[in-house]
Structure 1
Amino acid sequence: MNLSIVIPLLNEAESLPELYAWITKVMQKNNFSYEVLFIDDGSTDDSWKIISDISHDDSHIKGIRFQRNFGKSQALHAGFAQAEGEVVITMDADLQDSPDEIPELYKMITQEGYHLVSGWKKKRYDSVISKNLPSKLFNWAARQTSGVKLNDFNCGLKAYKNEVVKNIEVSGEMHRYIPVLAKNEGFTKIGEKVVIHQARKYGTTKFGMSRFINGFLDLITIWFLSKFGKRPMHFFGANGVIMFGIGFIAAFIIGARKLYKLYMGEPAILVTQDPWFYISLTTMVIGTQLFLAGFIGEMILKNKSNISRYKIAETSGL
């Protein structure tokens, strides 16, 4: 199979028939063997009914419906688990991503050897203040932190080699950072393609300013996980040893000075009356806690089990 198209969605009933017809037209024109996986992330409108009806009439269409809204990352994870195509395309269901971009993205993966190609919505039709400016700031911070030189991390239109989606774990709200996750797994040939961004035709956006705040918090998380996710002792343990060492040396110096004064017959206050003694003691306690945090982190990594992050209510066409 050439292509798997994974489309997470939430309350996009108005867009789905048009999107389905558009994708089908592009697939037939290019003679692709394909499947389309619609992942209904707990829609409360008629989205699932439309997906179910289409999948009964067209064997290329498959659907997964979550019991409730678990988030875009979880929807992508479910789609990636089912994807069978040589190349996996992700796109949004709101008609702002153009299926006409798919053939070129497919060629960049299969002919130019990219592991992943991300779309870049260079010209956008979103609000400048509420989306464009925060997005530019977010993308700049993501480039500086991750080392992945993409202009648009948030673009939902991306193409992957199948082996990429099978070797990354998309959890929490990490869908924005799939290129970083791929890089961390050794898939380093990451490209970018300018794509058409279309104005929303139906409904309203599901994202507010909070997604950018969450995005920056997730950026800190993925930076930490990239560096220390598989070796927490290197961060917590190392800093714990340093802090304990500083506190221990300081306490030793304080005690030695008091003993020297007593030996020389000079008046000296009790060690416990010196505020610096408590500062050094606190530093040693914090250092010990950090070391134990690293040790516990290592134990959790060694014994962690796979836990389901979402519940599927039903499927169609699978």
Structure 2
Amino acid sequence: MHITLQSLKLDQDAMSQRISAIILSLWHNLWHYTSYRSTHPLDLISTTDSARDSTSPTEKQYSPSINGKIERLLKAGPNLQKTKDKDGYVYVLVGNHNGIPIVKVGHTTAADARPKKQQLTCRVLQFQPQIDVFPVRSYYKLVEKLVHEELHDHCQLVFCSCRTRHRQVFAVDPEVVRGVIRRWIRFCEKEPWRFAADPATGCRGIGTLKKYWRNRLDHRRDRIYVHSRQGPTDNIEGRLALWDGFVNHGFGETLREYTPLVLLSLALVSFCAFSFWADQVSVALKVLPRLIVVSLYAGWRGYDGLRDCLIDSLPLSLILSYAFCVW
């Protein structure tokens, strides 16, 4: 003991510098962790944008780090080995803290048990009696993760009287949260992943994003759907518009992707119209198989297999065939 104390005494200046460096490092890490949620560790509920006023409006609107995490989640896909390929629910609890609307988003396999338990045990957030429950087939954990990542810069770390650190609480309009949940549920209902069977159980395992959606995801940065007009300190509008445009692709966008199909179909129908086939029914029977072949050829690059390509190609082929033959 004497030797240890003597060595500490002799090297007191070095140890003092070392302790100061450790304290500064701990404080820096603590500030970096909490500044993403609030401007000060003791300020539990506050806006998060004031800590990053130096960023440009474009960075605020499209948050590369948050969008990058969403992109990685989509490409990784759900792991049904962990969820056992079971159905679940994503729930929303709306509360209030110091006059600020607070929304908690979580997942459960029982529709009412877990949300009601949190309503009864948590008194700080003053949750409303109404519980919004969204059923999700197999992908409920992934939907919850996507919602958490998209709203991450509005997340609040709240220390509750129920001895729980609420990390899934967001200072966002409840209607915005509900819209985000519905959008990701719609995306999952499109079955955008391809699953390999688990050799041990024969059930679906880890999913990989299909080629069509990978192409849309790779070109996401080139598609600016809406510019936010809420000012440089509000980035949620641009991000919502960006992912809404990614998921809710309409007929116009699909038609633009099939531009080669439309051009080749016009040329093919024009050739058939001026050929020796005079009867419209005969023309339709001759044109339809060719339209399907052209459609498959034009859309093959965006799909992983014949089945997915045929599902998207056949309706458009039928419409074009009927329209051109009537004309």
TM normalised by structure 2 equals 0.28
Structure 1 or 2: more helix by fraction: 2
Higher RCO (CA 8 Å, separation ≥ 6 residues): 1
Which of the pair has more CA radius of gyration?
2
TM normalised by structure 1 equals 0.29
